Amino acid sequence: MAGLGESWRSDADALRDLGFRHILFLCVANSARSQLAEGIARHLAPAGVRVSSAGSEPSSVRPHAVAVLAEVGIDISGHHSKGVDDVVRPVDAVVTLCAEEVCPVWLGDAHRVHWGLPDPAAVRGRPGARLDAFRAVRDELRRRLAVVFAR
């Protein structure tokens, strides 16, 4: 994900230091970025940390999201898209992941971070381009969440 820089690192450090018990990942459809983040975070989070994802206009989990996480041993095949109203409260930390669209707003009391990542589902072009885009977002989220969940 060239060009994204390291500005996310201070947010990741702040999240790690927060000591949250429930982290929520938000995007519009809850079909790609937030699902990837939820799967990775559940894989990395210590016991006792709740991980959720949701969207303002939930649709369905993208098969590419399931496939690229399976490549790294994370199974989200049972996940489904959820709306913001479906999220169990309280939430201590919210990470919004939208880049090209307007992100959902979380009105509850929580530490908020914005990591604008491109929507891999919007990629068009050569065969495999969309899958590569999902891999790029997966890898970037793994890098960032490894900092958040560093022990």
CB atoms within 10 A of CB 7: 8
104 in catalytic set: no
Query: Omega of the bond prior to 90 within 30 degrees of 0, cis?
Result: yes
- Write down the catalytic residue from 44, 99, 103, 147: 103
* 7 vs 10: CA distance, rounded Å: 7
Task: State the sign of the Cα–Cα–Cα–Cα dihedral 34, 61, 3, 44.
Answer: positive
103 in catalytic set: yes
- Write down the catalytic residue from 27, 41, 113, 133: 27
- Write down the catalytic residue from 28, 65, 98, 117: 98
58 in catalytic set: no
Q: Across-strand partners of 53?
A: 25
Query: Which residue numbers are catalytic?
Result: 27, 98, 103
